[in-house]
Amino acid sequence: MPDISIVVPVYNELENVALLCEKISSATSKLKETSEIILIDDGSKDGTWEKMKECANTYPNFRLIRFRRNFGQTAAMAAGFKSALGNIIITLDADLQNDPADIPKLLEKMAEGYDVVSGWRKYRKDPFISRKLPSIMANALISKTTGVALHDYGCTLKAYRKEVVSNLHLYGEMHRFIPALASWVGADLAEVPVDHHARQFGTSKYGISRTFRVILDLMTVKFLLRYSTHPIQMFGKFGMFFGIPGFLMLLVMIISNLMFNIFGMESMAGIVELSKRSFWVITPFMLLLFGMQFISMGLLAEIQIRTYHESQDKPIYVIRETFDSEG
């Protein structure tokens, strides 16, 4: 039974896989702990799987998982967590921007008693405007929203105790929020600076569209962290925010009607003028209410989909095949 499981999602990284496996094997061979390396091919179409099999035949302790199609990085992480045998699980990207040589740093911090150790790309080798600035803003937003302050939620290089992640159910783009979700179950978190390298081969799989998905998932995380056991506390606040003013407005109109008869048949001109003014008052409120309804339906749908998956033990990925090192 290995002490450490290294989980690496891989998607269309043909040019990087061989060097990645070499670096991971070199880093783990220097550890005193025993280890296994789990590579998850997330539906690659460029020959990545065949190259992964070559690496598994070259280096020991490699285990390979291949998805039938591209299910996403979160699904690949979930498959790796479920398959891992080690008591400590370390994740990193396959694009060689994370350095496997930093694994000992994470383990040293874990030895101090932490349950989750997150890498911090302090000197990130990415364009500032397109990658670093959005990341800074996103990290600040996530830290503020979840209450778990980290410099770099987007860094995949992290270490987890298996008992922590085994209790987490991941969907959507939730893998980046694992530290926040782990804190919800009482995990102790730490952060250490790690090296970051510019991508040398291949292209990034992430675009601006992913930012919007992350924001939507952040709303779900906030809901799960604070209101999952008593959602009425959140929806009740919305209801009171709109309901109390609405009730007071209705009450004022009823009293005005009774006292001043402003809706009487003899004052039709007043009704027409009031209706014109009412349109500009009611429409913004209706739009806001529609927005709240859609958000509420989205959150309720998140809860329902979790019930659907977890009650039936339905996976969020489908494995085509597996392959283990001969050694």
Cβ(41)–Cβ(48) under 8 Å?
yes
Q: Write down the pLDDT at residue 216.
A: 74
Mean pLDDT of the chain: 81
Residues with Cβ within 8 Å of residue 41, at least 6 apart in sequence: 10, 11, 48, 49, 52, 64, 65, 66, 67
Q: Which of 124-128, 185-189, 213-217, 230-234 is the least confident region?
A: 230-234
Residue 235 binned pLDDT confidence (cut-offs 50, 70, 90): low
pLDDT of residue 38: 97
Mean pLDDT of 286-307: 70
pLDDT tens for each residue of 175-213: 888 998 888 878 899 999 999 888 787 666 565 556 667
- Domains of the chain, residue spans: 4-228+314-324, 232-312
Torsion of CA 112, 115, 121, 123, to 10 degrees: -20
Q: Whole-prediction pTM value?
A: 0.74
- Superfamily of chain region 4-228+314-324: Spore Coat Polysaccharide Biosynthesis Protein SpsA; Chain A (3.90.550.10)
What band does 167 get if pLDDT is binned at 50, 70 and 90? confident
- Which is more confident, 231 or 178? 178
| Least confidently predicted of 94-98, 140-144, 241-245, 277-281 | 277-281
